[in-house]
Structure formats: structure tokens, C-alpha cells
Amino acid sequence: MKFGTKTIHAGVHPDPATGAIMTPIYQTSTYVQRSPGDHKGYEYSRTHNPTRTQLQNSVAALENGKHGLAFASGMAATDCIIKLLQPGDEVISTNDLYGGSYRIFTKVFEPLGIKFHFVPMHDMTAVREKVTERTKLIWVETPTNPLLNVIDIEAAAAVAKEAGALLVVDNTFSTPYLQTPLDLGADIVVHSLTKYMGGHSDAVMGALVVQDDELAQRLAFLQNASGGTPGPQDCFLILRGIKTLHLRMQRHCENGRAVAEYLRQHPKVAKVYWPGFADHPNHEIAARQMRDFGGMISFVLQGDRKEDAVAVLEKFQLFALAESLGGVESLCGHPATMTHASIPPEERRKAGLSDSLIRLSVGIEDVEDLIEDLRQAIG
């Protein structure tokens, strides 16, 4: 099946009991057994739930993977991955990544004895310099949040293989519509399904997708043992959202291009971060490993002053000032005080994240209205 057909059909099937074409919400905590241990594949909903099973199958199919696992949030999925490690193990991650990932790495797992190195991953030399015999995981986020750097997944996979480490790719910004990291050598793909995959800003959830059977079993054990699993209502909502993923992503990309080009020519805008520009430092990699360039854009105003950025954010009428991204509606945010506030200011500046940076999640509205909102807000 081609991608658009997969979003609607792959991994899901009509309900065998009633023929319902949409996956039912199995709102149950437990399941009756014929005899002790003799059941129909379901014992307790923390471990398995039929609604969640179909969601996991759908996400796995979209990522060209074999096994999918759903979690109560993207951070619960991240937590599960790091629990594969032991004290003394080391992780190499990009220095420009989601603040929540940085927080759980440094505030939760570093005190437990796992060491994290944050490097600019557009240069694989910097990654190789941090590889030791203790390196067990390489964590890639591409495009990065919020500076939209693009990391070469195939090159990162080669480094991980040499080191005997697992390669994890956070595919939240791209979704499998734009890239499929498992096809490029990744071992684990992680998603915040809250964002583009759900697409309607009405459910919080995460997911992992893998190919390897043994790795899937280890992750499934942790998923069940730690209990960070989603309820069936949220699984239903994400399944509903996935069915229009290809249509929404096409519009996000079209609108993103128009907004990026408008911002770039605006006299009050100093810099626009968007991988679709030919002079973007990682454009060649983006063009090779991505189907299009997405609807996430960041920019800095002339003068690079935080107060000017705040004034613009307060003037928006269509772009809603809110956490998150990837919904049908356009959102704007101030990473330094919102999504990336947990990263120390000196670390943000070292990575190139200015205190005046504005991040846009360009929605699927009529782009002329979005550009008019930018015009009136920036002045």
C-alpha cells in the first residue's frame, strides 16, 4: 500500500464481533478468562487493550516497522527507552533538542548513573569523539526542536553500528509521512503522538516502533512493568487522527513553505530557520531523507530582543500562543520560556537558541489568513 492508503487501512481491521468499521473503544480494565491462564489474548488493560493494539499496529505499519508500543505520553515512551540502560552507560544526544527530553535525561536519569553527552549532531565528527566503550545509545532528533537542524540518520546509524549502540530517532516533527528512520538504519523510532500523528490537539500520547523481536520484547516488558500506558479513549482519538495524516501533512508543508518565504523577505525578520531553504546548512540532507520540509518554522527579529518577540507573540490573532505543535490550528511559542525553559540559559545559548526566538507550528488554515496575521503581528 502507498502511504495515504496505509493511514486508513494498515494495521487496523473491522471489529470481529460487530463489523464496526471504526475500532471500538474497549473501555474495560480486565477480561474474563475461560480457565486460569486460558484467555483470548487479553488479561488486563495495562498489559494489552484491543483499541491500543490496533493503534500500535497502525503506527508500526506507517513507520515500516514490525512492533509498535503506545504510551501515555511521549515522555513515557522516552522513559521506557532509557530504562534499557544501566548505571555507567553513556548516551550521545544532539545539543538542540526538546526541553522535556533534556530534562528527563539530566534531572531523572543522570542522578541514577547514566551519562549524557550533548553535541551538535550535524557534524558526525563531534559524535564520534564522544563514543566510548560505555556508549549504549545515540539519540537523534531531526529536524531538531526548535532550530530545525537536520541530522543525517544514515550517518548516525553507521556510527551507532560501529559503537555497538542503539540508534533512537525522534520522528515527531517529521512523522512517517516525511521520513521513515527504520529504513535509514535506526533501531527505535519515538513519537509524541500528541502532535502531528493525532493532529487535533485533543489527546496526549507517545509511541515506539522497532523491527527487532528481542528489543520489542524488552521494551514491552518495561511498558507493562512501569505502567505508562494510554487509555482506550485516547487511542481511539489518535487512530481517528492518523486517517487524515497524509492530507494534513501535505497542507502543513504547503503552508509552511509559504510562511517561511514570507518571513524571509520581511524587513523586520533577521533570520528564519526552515530546512527547505537551499542555503539551510543541512538542506542537502533534508532533501535526501525527507519527502518535504514540514510546517515547523522558527525565526528571530531584527535586534534579537526578547521584549520585541514577546510583543509579537501577544499580538497574534490566529497563531495561538500555546505549548505543543502539529495540530490543525496554527500555534506560536517562545521556547526560552515555554518548551525549553528547563534547559539552562547558558546551554540554550551554546546551542544557538536565542531568548528572542519565536517558534511557529503552521496549521492547515488558508495560508493568506496566516500571512496576514504575521503581517499585523510583526508590523
Q: Which of 87, 148, 91 is nearest to 122 (CA)?
A: 148
E strand map for 253-357: 269-273, 296-301, 320-321, 331-333
46 in active site = yes
Work out the number of other CB atoms within 10 angstroms of the CB of residue 316.
20
Residue of 6, 115, 195, 248 marked active site? 195
Q: Which of 6, 79, 98, 373 is catalytic?
A: 98
Residue 160 makes CB contacts below 8 A (sequence gap 6+) with: 138, 166, 167, 185, 187
Local structure of residue 38 (DSSP, 8 states): B
Is 195 noted as a catalytic residue in this protein?
yes
C-alpha cell at 250: 501535505
Rounded distance between C-alpha atoms, residue 263 and residue 258, angstroms? 9
Residue 371 — φ and ψ, nearest 5°? -65, -35
In angstroms, the Cα distances linking 37 to 40, 44, 45, 290 are 10, 12, 15, 46
Alpha helix (H) residue ranges in 201-277? 213-226, 232-242, 245-265
**What does the alpha-carbon distance between residue 178 and residue 297 come to, in Å, rounded to a whole number?**
16
Per annotation, catalytic residue among 79, 152, 170, 355: 170
Give Cα separations from 187 to 78, 118, 209, 289, 343 (angstroms). 14, 20, 8, 16, 27
Q: Quick one: how far is CA 98 from the chain centroid?
A: 9
Strand order in the sheet with 358-361: 269-273, 296-301, 358-361, 331-333, 320-321
State the catalytic residues. Answer: 46, 98, 170, 195
